[in-house]
Amino acid sequence: LSEKGRQSLLEPFGPGQLKYPKHKTIVKLFEEQVKKTPDNIAVVFGPVHLSYRRLNESANRLGRYLRKRYRVNTGDRVAIRLERSEKMIIAIWGILKAGAAYVPVEPDYPEERISYMLADSDCKLVIHEQQWKNFEEEAKSISDSNPFSVSTPDVLAYVIYTSGSTDQPKGVMIKHSSLVDYCYSVMDAKNITACRSFGLVSTIAADLGITVIFASLIKGAELHIFS
Protein backbone atom coordinates (compact mmCIF):
# COMPACT_ATOMS: atom_id res chain seq x y z
CA LEU A 1 0.00 0.00 0.00
CA SER A 2 1.03 3.57 -0.55
CA GLU A 3 1.32 5.72 2.59
CA LYS A 4 -1.86 7.57 1.57
CA GLY A 5 -3.75 4.30 1.09
CA ARG A 6 -2.45 2.96 4.39
CA GLN A 7 -3.65 6.04 6.31
CA SER A 8 -7.06 5.99 4.62
CA LEU A 9 -7.57 2.46 5.91
CA LEU A 10 -6.10 2.85 9.40
CA GLU A 11 -7.25 6.29 10.52
CA PRO A 12 -11.00 5.51 10.78
CA PHE A 13 -10.19 2.62 13.12
CA GLY A 14 -7.57 4.36 15.26
CA PRO A 15 -7.95 5.52 18.86
CA GLY A 16 -10.80 7.96 19.36
CA GLN A 17 -10.54 11.31 21.10
CA LEU A 18 -13.36 10.68 23.58
CA LYS A 19 -12.32 11.25 27.18
CA TYR A 20 -13.61 8.71 29.67
CA PRO A 21 -12.44 7.26 33.04
CA LYS A 22 -10.02 4.61 31.80
CA HIS A 23 -8.66 3.98 35.31
CA LYS A 24 -12.03 3.00 36.79
CA THR A 25 -13.96 -0.27 36.79
CA ILE A 26 -17.64 -0.46 35.89
CA VAL A 27 -18.36 -1.17 39.58
CA LYS A 28 -16.62 2.02 40.68
CA LEU A 29 -18.66 4.05 38.19
CA PHE A 30 -21.88 2.47 39.46
CA GLU A 31 -21.01 3.15 43.11
CA GLU A 32 -20.24 6.78 42.26
CA GLN A 33 -23.65 7.09 40.64
CA VAL A 34 -25.29 5.58 43.75
CA LYS A 35 -23.73 8.36 45.82
CA LYS A 36 -25.07 11.00 43.44
CA THR A 37 -28.65 9.69 43.17
CA PRO A 38 -29.29 7.23 46.02
CA ASP A 39 -33.06 7.77 46.10
CA ASN A 40 -33.67 7.79 42.35
CA ILE A 41 -35.31 4.70 40.86
CA ALA A 42 -32.75 2.40 39.26
CA VAL A 43 -34.68 -0.76 38.29
CA VAL A 44 -38.36 -1.35 37.57
CA PHE A 45 -39.95 -4.77 37.05
CA GLY A 46 -43.73 -4.84 37.32
CA PRO A 47 -44.64 -3.53 40.79
CA VAL A 48 -41.01 -3.70 41.97
CA HIS A 49 -39.17 -0.37 42.08
CA LEU A 50 -35.59 -0.44 43.37
CA SER A 51 -33.78 2.79 44.18
CA TYR A 52 -30.08 3.10 43.47
CA ARG A 53 -29.44 2.73 47.19
CA ARG A 54 -31.47 -0.49 47.50
CA LEU A 55 -30.00 -1.98 44.33
CA ASN A 56 -26.49 -1.27 45.58
CA GLU A 57 -27.19 -2.63 49.07
CA SER A 58 -28.66 -5.85 47.68
CA ALA A 59 -25.69 -6.28 45.35
CA ASN A 60 -23.30 -5.63 48.25
CA ARG A 61 -24.94 -8.37 50.30
CA LEU A 62 -24.74 -10.81 47.41
CA GLY A 63 -21.11 -9.94 46.72
CA ARG A 64 -20.19 -10.52 50.36
CA TYR A 65 -22.24 -13.74 50.41
CA LEU A 66 -20.38 -15.10 47.38
CA ARG A 67 -17.01 -14.27 48.88
CA LYS A 68 -17.74 -15.78 52.29
CA ARG A 69 -19.84 -18.79 51.37
CA TYR A 70 -18.11 -19.86 48.13
CA ARG A 71 -14.74 -18.07 48.29
CA VAL A 72 -15.54 -16.30 45.01
CA ASN A 73 -12.73 -13.94 44.06
CA THR A 74 -10.93 -12.25 41.19
CA GLY A 75 -10.60 -14.49 38.16
CA ASP A 76 -13.58 -16.69 39.04
CA ARG A 77 -16.61 -17.01 36.78
CA VAL A 78 -20.15 -17.20 38.17
CA ALA A 79 -23.11 -18.07 35.96
CA ILE A 80 -26.50 -16.34 36.18
CA ARG A 81 -29.41 -18.63 35.34
CA LEU A 82 -32.41 -16.67 36.61
CA GLU A 83 -35.80 -15.82 35.17
CA ARG A 84 -36.30 -12.23 34.03
CA SER A 85 -36.71 -9.97 37.04
CA GLU A 86 -34.83 -7.43 39.12
CA LYS A 87 -32.90 -10.36 40.63
CA MET A 88 -30.77 -10.84 37.53
CA ILE A 89 -29.61 -7.20 37.72
CA ILE A 90 -28.74 -7.58 41.41
CA ALA A 91 -26.88 -10.77 40.50
CA ILE A 92 -24.79 -9.01 37.86
CA TRP A 93 -23.64 -6.30 40.25
CA GLY A 94 -23.19 -8.73 43.13
CA ILE A 95 -20.87 -10.96 41.12
CA LEU A 96 -18.88 -7.96 39.89
CA LYS A 97 -18.62 -6.60 43.44
CA ALA A 98 -17.21 -9.96 44.55
CA GLY A 99 -14.47 -9.41 41.97
CA ALA A 100 -15.62 -12.21 39.67
CA ALA A 101 -16.94 -12.24 36.12
CA TYR A 102 -20.51 -13.22 35.34
CA VAL A 103 -21.66 -15.64 32.65
CA PRO A 104 -25.27 -15.00 31.54
CA VAL A 105 -27.25 -18.17 30.80
CA GLU A 106 -30.83 -18.13 29.56
CA PRO A 107 -32.88 -20.61 31.67
CA ASP A 108 -34.68 -21.97 28.59
CA TYR A 109 -31.52 -22.75 26.63
CA PRO A 110 -31.23 -26.46 25.70
CA GLU A 111 -29.59 -28.36 28.55
CA GLU A 112 -26.80 -29.51 26.23
CA ARG A 113 -25.88 -25.89 25.45
CA ILE A 114 -26.03 -24.86 29.11
CA SER A 115 -23.83 -27.76 30.18
CA TYR A 116 -21.30 -26.89 27.50
CA MET A 117 -21.21 -23.18 28.48
CA LEU A 118 -20.76 -23.93 32.18
CA ALA A 119 -17.96 -26.40 31.51
CA ASP A 120 -16.25 -24.26 28.87
CA SER A 121 -16.26 -21.14 31.05
CA ASP A 122 -15.18 -23.15 34.12
CA CYS A 123 -17.85 -21.57 36.31
CA LYS A 124 -17.27 -21.81 40.03
CA LEU A 125 -20.95 -21.41 40.83
CA VAL A 126 -24.36 -21.09 39.17
CA ILE A 127 -26.90 -18.64 40.59
CA HIS A 128 -30.27 -20.23 39.83
CA GLU A 129 -33.62 -19.82 41.57
CA GLN A 130 -32.81 -22.21 44.43
CA GLN A 131 -29.40 -20.65 44.96
CA TRP A 132 -31.11 -17.26 45.12
CA LYS A 133 -33.46 -18.52 47.84
CA ASN A 134 -30.46 -19.73 49.80
CA PHE A 135 -28.94 -16.27 49.55
CA GLU A 136 -32.16 -14.55 50.64
CA GLU A 137 -32.30 -16.68 53.79
CA GLU A 138 -28.98 -15.22 54.91
CA ALA A 139 -29.18 -11.77 53.30
CA LYS A 140 -30.44 -9.86 56.34
CA SER A 141 -27.46 -10.95 58.42
CA ILE A 142 -24.96 -9.69 55.81
CA SER A 143 -23.56 -6.14 55.73
CA ASP A 144 -24.95 -3.94 52.96
CA SER A 145 -21.90 -1.65 52.75
CA ASN A 146 -19.67 -1.65 49.68
CA PRO A 147 -17.25 -4.59 49.92
CA PHE A 148 -13.54 -3.91 49.51
CA SER A 149 -12.82 -3.79 45.79
CA VAL A 150 -10.36 -6.32 44.40
CA SER A 151 -11.02 -5.53 40.74
CA THR A 152 -8.96 -3.43 38.37
CA PRO A 153 -9.71 -2.32 34.79
CA ASP A 154 -7.76 -5.35 33.51
CA VAL A 155 -9.93 -7.85 35.39
CA LEU A 156 -12.56 -9.88 33.56
CA ALA A 157 -16.12 -8.51 33.85
CA TYR A 158 -18.16 -11.07 31.94
CA VAL A 159 -18.08 -13.91 29.42
CA ILE A 160 -20.77 -13.84 26.73
CA TYR A 161 -21.37 -16.71 24.32
CA THR A 162 -21.94 -16.54 20.58
CA SER A 163 -24.96 -18.15 18.94
CA GLY A 164 -23.02 -21.23 17.91
CA SER A 165 -24.92 -21.36 14.63
CA THR A 166 -22.06 -23.09 12.79
CA ASP A 167 -20.34 -24.93 15.65
CA GLN A 168 -20.18 -24.92 19.44
CA PRO A 169 -20.81 -21.44 20.95
CA LYS A 170 -17.66 -19.53 21.80
CA GLY A 171 -17.13 -17.52 24.96
CA VAL A 172 -16.01 -13.93 24.45
CA MET A 173 -14.14 -12.56 27.49
CA ILE A 174 -14.70 -8.85 28.22
CA LYS A 175 -12.64 -6.89 30.76
CA HIS A 176 -13.81 -3.92 32.82
CA SER A 177 -11.68 -1.59 30.70
CA SER A 178 -13.37 -2.71 27.49
CA LEU A 179 -16.85 -2.47 29.03
CA VAL A 180 -16.26 1.08 30.28
CA ASP A 181 -14.80 2.09 26.90
CA TYR A 182 -17.82 0.59 25.13
CA CYS A 183 -20.40 2.25 27.37
CA TYR A 184 -18.95 5.72 26.96
CA SER A 185 -18.52 5.22 23.22
CA VAL A 186 -22.16 4.19 22.83
CA MET A 187 -23.40 7.09 24.93
CA ASP A 188 -21.34 9.50 22.87
CA ALA A 189 -22.26 8.06 19.47
CA LYS A 190 -25.98 7.71 20.18
CA ASN A 191 -26.39 10.89 22.26
CA ILE A 192 -28.29 9.04 24.99
CA THR A 193 -26.65 10.68 28.00
CA ALA A 194 -29.78 12.74 28.68
CA CYS A 195 -32.12 9.76 28.33
CA ARG A 196 -33.88 9.10 31.65
CA SER A 197 -35.55 5.77 30.92
CA PHE A 198 -34.24 2.60 29.26
CA GLY A 199 -36.17 -0.53 28.34
CA LEU A 200 -34.53 -3.96 28.65
CA VAL A 201 -36.17 -6.03 25.93
CA SER A 202 -33.20 -8.21 25.03
CA THR A 203 -31.83 -11.10 27.04
CA ILE A 204 -28.87 -10.31 29.29
CA ALA A 205 -27.03 -13.03 27.35
CA ALA A 206 -26.84 -10.75 24.27
CA ASP A 207 -24.83 -7.61 23.53
CA LEU A 208 -27.94 -5.43 23.33
CA GLY A 209 -28.93 -6.35 26.87
CA ILE A 210 -25.47 -5.49 28.17
CA THR A 211 -25.59 -2.14 26.36
CA VAL A 212 -28.89 -1.15 27.97
CA ILE A 213 -28.04 -2.35 31.48
CA PHE A 214 -24.70 -0.63 31.92
CA ALA A 215 -25.33 2.50 29.86
CA SER A 216 -28.39 3.25 31.99
CA LEU A 217 -27.12 2.39 35.47
CA ILE A 218 -23.78 4.22 35.37
CA LYS A 219 -25.60 7.40 34.30
CA GLY A 220 -28.44 7.44 36.83
CA ALA A 221 -31.34 6.50 34.55
CA GLU A 222 -34.23 4.08 35.13
CA LEU A 223 -33.89 0.54 33.77
CA HIS A 224 -37.27 -1.01 32.97
CA ILE A 225 -37.22 -4.80 32.60
CA PHE A 226 -39.93 -6.10 30.28
CA SER A 227 -41.27 -9.58 30.91
Q: Are 77 and 124 in contact (CB under 8 A)?
A: yes
Predicted local distance difference test score (pLDDT) of residue 14: 65
Query: What average pLDDT score do residues 66-76 get?
Result: 95
Strands 48-51 and 41-45 turn out to be antiparallel
Query: What is the percent of the chain where pLDDT is above 90?
Result: 79
Residue 35 has pLDDT above 80, yes or no: yes
Q: For 85-141, what is each residue's pLDDT tens digit? A: 999 999 999 999 999 999 999 999 999 999 999 999 999 999 999 999 999 999 999
pTM: predicted TM-score of the whole model, two decimal places = 0.91
Instruction: Give me the pLDDT at residue 15, please.
Output: 63
Rounded CA-CA distance 72/147 in Å is 13
Q: Please give the DSSP secondary-structure letter assigned to residue 142.
A: S
